[in-house]
Structure 1
Amino acid sequence: MITSRDDVWQKADVIAVDEVADRIRRIVLRPELPRPALPGEHIDVLATVNGEPQVRSYSVVEAPDNGGQLVITVFRTPESRGGSEFMHSLEQGQVLRITKPLQNFPLRVGAPSYVLLAGGIGITAIAGMAALLRRLGADYRLVYVARSRAAMAYLDDLAAVHGDRFEAHIDDEGGSLDVQALVAGVPVHTELYMCGPIRLMDAVRRTWADRGLDRTNLRYETFGNSGWFDAEPFVVRIPRLGVEAAVGSGESMLEALEREGVDMMSDCRKGECGLCQVKVLGLAGRIDHRDVFYSDRQKASDSSMCCCVSRAVTAAPPTTSGDRPAVLTIEVP
């Protein structure tokens, strides 16, 4: 099922494709119905995954004035559900179906100061915010975190543009980010915007809460596919409907259930809105909660989960090819 809020699907020409970092591709699109894009906005793209149309979301990194172009940047992830593979297969001259720019991660202009935190490909949601704050003369820090320099898109350009307001933390160069120190140095009324993997996001959220800072000043967007465990196949059952589905490591539980004809409610498909949450009736294994919708207490209870991103995993790492997959029994609304 393909849904995308109140937006209008339109054609977009692929006018340029470039490699900007390791497994990271910059894609320039020209929509047939162009309009300006604001910092934090994204577009939905209709990708072909295993022969079927699937909606994928990508942050708008740039929206140049010339010709109403939109620039997105896509990481080809080993945990891909097929979207990034499709996007990396695109070539100049192809035509996509996309939406207008959509806003789930707005930047509030007028805060006393800002910290912008990007983990890996999360820079795609943050770079436009930094550019706007620089133009406005705002007080901001741009913090860019990644495992390696080769995997950091736009690193040199960001360093050159933002100067001493920019800092990079690179794990394999011994410069890992100290989350405790970062949050400890945030002035009380500062707004922190972040986008990155779930482990980084959780660490910042916990430290922010421990310090007693205003929760409304911490704003974030997640990848929707990063978790605490490697994705592995599992089985999901809905006894009331007589449904049993095998969920592959490269697809979400939501997609697997839709494939089996289950009428599911969903919207963001990134673990943010909670519309796709299901009740957990039984579990052989454990749940890898990959959402940012539930609190830590709610996740610890394992009574429900966001099926667009969260998964079931075996209780311990598999040791032989004959190990049985995790089995999840749920009820849907």
Structure 2
Amino acid sequence: MAFADATVRVESKQVVADGVVALTLTRPDGGRLADWTPGAHIDLILPADGRRADGLGHSATRQYSLCGDRWDPARYRVAVLREPDGRGGSAYVHDVLEPGDLVGVGAPRDNFPLVPSERYLFLAGGIGITPLLPMIHQAALLGADWHLWYAGRSLAAMAFAGELADAHGDRVHLAPGDRAARIDLTALLAQPQPGTKIYCCGPTRLLDAVTRATAHWPAHTLRTERFAAAPPLPARATAFEVHLRRTGARVTVDPGVSVLDALRAAGVEVLSSCRQGVCGTCLTAVVEGRPDHRDALLADHERAAGDRMLVCVSRSCDDRLVLDL
């Protein structure tokens, strides 16, 4: 279950590319919004007025990266790609939401933070440009060395491409599929560059390709954000038991049932939002047992530690898992 931390008003709605609209959000009273850092996202709870945003007639929670000016305390900006095969949130934003409408918004969360570095290489695919926009602004503000490679199916579909090129010149390399060759990731990433951090966001095929191309770079150089968890390996075919350390309760998790749903069925409330392993809302401490990680959020070293899991998608490798609940 997701909870709105505030109600915001849609100040403006602007088409910024084919199939992409940008929303500017403000508080109805004109007050200050919560601060945020580059890479942060917010939850939009749609619709706030009770109109249907999904097939069930329930409010739908969707995550969108903040892509505006982080130093503007009164406005958030998000960009929303129309997803024909999505769950209804993007269609609602594109077809129903209008300036003046009110929506619920969760506090900003940053699972994709920009860390200090001498230089940055930013790689974006399509709507994956959104979390990188404030990172680029921050890198430029700090005088860091940086370059952006931005690919899309066409120039018309690449949101903010024009403003990036106009503002930053030859630091921005655009690769529209209808006008230019694809980015040669093997050549671009052939030589590891000490002191460089690579930030990448986009479709799975881009992230997988960049991961392969940087396998010989120093550990923790590459930081990625995925739109959805990668297809998981087959799960165990038998049930397992979750023990709750604080209450002593035991919950059986059957095949095909998520840990989150099993806990809720047993009366244990755990906050959640995306239910896809990408937002981090349901991150839960693990006391004993080996989690079967199926999220797209935790880094490899965090998964190896085995002390946290996203209960909306991850499961157990063992018959018994003890959670700090």
In the alignment, which residue of structure 1 is the partner of 2:183? 177
Cα distance change, pair 56–258 in 1 and its aligned pair in 2 (3 A): farther
Tell me, in whole angstroms, the C-alpha distance in 2 between the residues paired with 1:15 and 1:309.
35
Which residues of 2 match residues 14-29 of structure 1 at below 5 A? 14-29=10-25
Amino acid at match of 1:271: V
Contact 1:115 1:193 in 2 (8 A): yes
1:2 aligned counterpart, secondary structure: coil
Cα distance change, pair 145–306 in 1 and its aligned pair in 2 (3 A): farther
In the alignment, which residue of structure 1 is the partner of 2:8? 12
Matched, 1:94 2:93: no
In the alignment, which residue of structure 2 is the partner of 1:51? 57
Contact 1:194 1:219 in 2 (8 A): yes
Matched, 1:215 2:219: yes
Query: Which residues of structure 2 form unaligned runs of 5+?
Result: 48-53, 242-251, 304-308, 315-319
Contact 1:36 1:68 in 2 (8 A): no
Give the superposition deviation at 1:306: 7.3
Tell me, in whole angstroms, the C-alpha distance in 2 between the residues paired with 1:255 and 1:149.
41
In the TM superposition, structure 1's runs of 4+ consecutive aligned residues that sit over 6 Å from their partners are: 236-246, 253-264, 276-280
Matched, 1:115 2:121: yes
In the alignment, which residue of structure 1 is the partner of 2:40? 41
Tell me, in whole angstroms, the C-alpha distance in 1 between the residues paired with 2:115 and 2:299.
24
How many residue pairs are counted as aligned between the two chains? 282
Tell me, in whole angstroms, the C-alpha distance in 2 between the residues paired with 1:260 and 1:79.
29
Cα distance change, pair 228–67 in 1 and its aligned pair in 2 (3 A): closer
In the alignment, which residue of structure 2 is the partner of 1:321? none
Q: Which structure has more helix as a fraction of its residues?
A: 1
Cα distance change, pair 306–146 in 1 and its aligned pair in 2 (3 A): farther
2:140 aligned counterpart, secondary structure: helix
1:184 aligned counterpart, secondary structure: coil
Match 2:296 to one of 278, 291, 300: 291
Amino acid at match of 1:58: Y
In the alignment, which residue of structure 2 is the partner of 1:81? 87
Tell me, in whole angstroms, the C-alpha distance in 1 between the residues paired with 2:157 and 2:227.
16
Cα distance change, pair 237–53 in 1 and its aligned pair in 2 (3 A): farther
Give the superposition deviation at 1:20: 0.7
Contact 2:9 2:102 in 1 (8 A): yes
Tell me, in whole angstroms, the C-alpha distance in 1 between the residues paired with 2:10 and 2:105.
11
Deviations, residues 116-160 of structure 1 (Å, cap 9, x unaligned):
111110110001111111122210011111122221001111111
Contact 1:245 1:257 in 2 (8 A): no
Contact 2:260 2:270 in 1 (8 A): no
TM-score w.r.t. structure 1 length?
A: 0.70
In the alignment, which residue of structure 1 is the partner of 2:2? 2
Contact 1:42 1:57 in 2 (8 A): yes
Give the superposition deviation at 1:271: 3.5
Cα distance change, pair 81–46 in 1 and its aligned pair in 2 (3 A): same
Q: Which is further off, 258-267 or 150-159?
A: 258-267
Query: Which residues of structure 1 form unaligned runs of 5+?
Result: 230-235, 247-252, 281-288, 299-304, 311-330
2:200 aligned counterpart, secondary structure: strand
Give the superposition deviation at 1:45: 1.2
Tell me, in whole angstroms, the C-alpha distance in 1 between the residues paired with 2:213 and 2:262.
36
Contact 1:36 1:63 in 2 (8 A): no
Match 1:157 to one of 163, 172, 175: 163
Amino acid at match of 1:2: A
Deviations, residues 211-240 of structure 1 (Å, cap 9, x unaligned):
1x2222211211127x679xxxxxx99799
Cα RMSD after superposing both structures:
3.9
Contact 1:12 1:30 in 2 (8 A): yes
Deviations, residues 189-219 of structure 1 (Å, cap 9, x unaligned):
210111111121112112212x1x2222211
Contact 1:10 1:33 in 2 (8 A): no
Tell me, in whole angstroms, the C-alpha distance in 1 between the residues paired with 2:79 and 2:69.
12
Tell me, in whole angstroms, the C-alpha distance in 1 between the residues paired with 2:213 and 2:139.
25
